[in-house]
Amino acid sequence: MKAYSISRYSKTDRLKLVDLPVPNLKQDEVLVEIYAASVNQLDLKIKSGEFKLILPYKLPLVLGHDVSGVVTKVGSTVTKFKAGDEVYARPSDFHIGAFAEYIAINEMDLALKPTNISFEEAASMPLVSLTAWQALIEKSNLKKGQKVFIQAGSGGVGTIAIQLAKHLGLKTATTTGAANTELVKSLGADVVIDYRKEDFEAVLKDYNLVLNSQDAKTLEKSLNVLKDGGKVISISGPPTPVFANEFNLPWYVKFATKLLSSKIRGKAKKSNVDYEFLFMRANGMQLSEIGKLIETGVIRPIVDKVFPFEQMNEAMSYVSSGHAKGKVVVKVK
């Protein structure tokens, strides 16, 4: 099979198109012929070596965290899927590899593809929708009418998180550029701040939750828009010792996370708010629930561009530019 691989960590190296054997199946895995994959910031961060402490992959490595396709074969203990099923997934860490023609995925990470969307749209959804779900539902105890500030509303996570927040009955604020104001309003944002003209810290106050996806300066400012007892969940770091324990990382990584996050944890404590780092986990059951929301029209995928498989490197470059609205997808088949 054809696949795009890296053999060393680099910001500038291009992915290399290589021939690899079709993956062998373990008994609890499903072999998926890939129809589409999407590119995430996480792919860029792993490629550059930014996450090598948290995710110590063996190189060479095939990247790709989002996949849609058709089941061609199932392992001996698999009960939920059969050959011919149309599926989508965010494969679990250390089992990624969606930038290829085939992938073996644990059945627990997999869900049936929503019937009302294309393979390209389905491939845009798993990582960002699971991130939004785990932030707004699993890690937050928000009630209808409470307020959430979702940064970068026109980005991959932002476009889905706004829709999920609206479904949950939350009052939602977001930041975006003027060109994307109508898009985020159409998704359900109640307050839209043009980050080029306004400072969100001067506009927002008494929020229950902030979903942070930006830099350290923005994260620190986010503490000031929260009410007492509020919470900021960051998907862009810094990671915390709690995260390091949950992921069973080595002692030196736990120590590093303690140092990296000490400043923001200290400031949060001083402001009487909570800080938490979220590194989303693969979860087929949650993806099935998200699929129901897609099929009923509660959530719709937002796809900016679809690149052919031959232009995988161009797709990576476009994502690294930071200008994508929603997701960037690669059509494999």
Percent of the residues in the chain that have a pLDDT greater than 70, as a whole number = 100
pLDDT digits (tens, 9 = 90+) for 144-154: 999 999 999 99
Same fold, 2-127+281-331 and 140-277: no
Taking the CA atoms of 166, 303, 128 and 81 in sequence, report the sign of the dihedral they define: positive
Q: What is the pTM of this model?
A: 0.98
Domain limits, the chain: 2-127+281-331, 140-277
Residue listed under structure tokens 């959804």: 125
> Which pLDDT tens digit goes with each residue over 175-215?
999 999 999 999 999 999 999 999 999 999 999 999 999 99
Give pLDDT tens digits for 163-177: 999 999 999 999 999
What is the model's pLDDT at position 82?
A: 98
Rounded-to-integer distance, Cα 10 and Cα 12, Å: 6
Give the 3-state secondary structure of 95-118: CCCCCECEEEEEHHHEEECCCCCC
Q: What is the DSSP letter of 298?
A: S
> Please, what is the average pLDDT of the chain?
97
Classify domain 140-277 by CATH architecture. Answer: 3-Layer(aba) Sandwich (3.40)
Integer Cα distance of 38 and 122 in angstroms: 9
pLDDT of residue 323: 86
Tell me, rounded to whole angstroms, the distance of Cα 148 from its chain centroid. 18
What's the rounded Cα separation, in Å, for the pair 25 and 48?
A: 29
Element holding 4 (H helix, E strand): strand 2-6
Contact yes or no for 30/104 (Cβ under 8 A): yes
pLDDT digits (tens, 9 = 90+) for 281-299: 999 999 999 999 999 999 9
Dist. CA 185–CA 174, nearest whole Å: 9
What whole-number distance in Å separates Cα of residue 162 and Cα of residue 166?
6
How many alpha carbons fall within 13 Å on the CB side of residue 118? 12
Tokens of 264: 């923001």
pLDDT at 111: 98
Extract the residue ranges of the chain whose pLDDT is less than 50: none
Alpha-carbon span 35 to 64, nearest angstrom: 13
> Is 2-127+281-331 assigned to CATH 3.90.180.10?
yes
Angstrom distance (rounded) from CA 308 to CA 284: 27
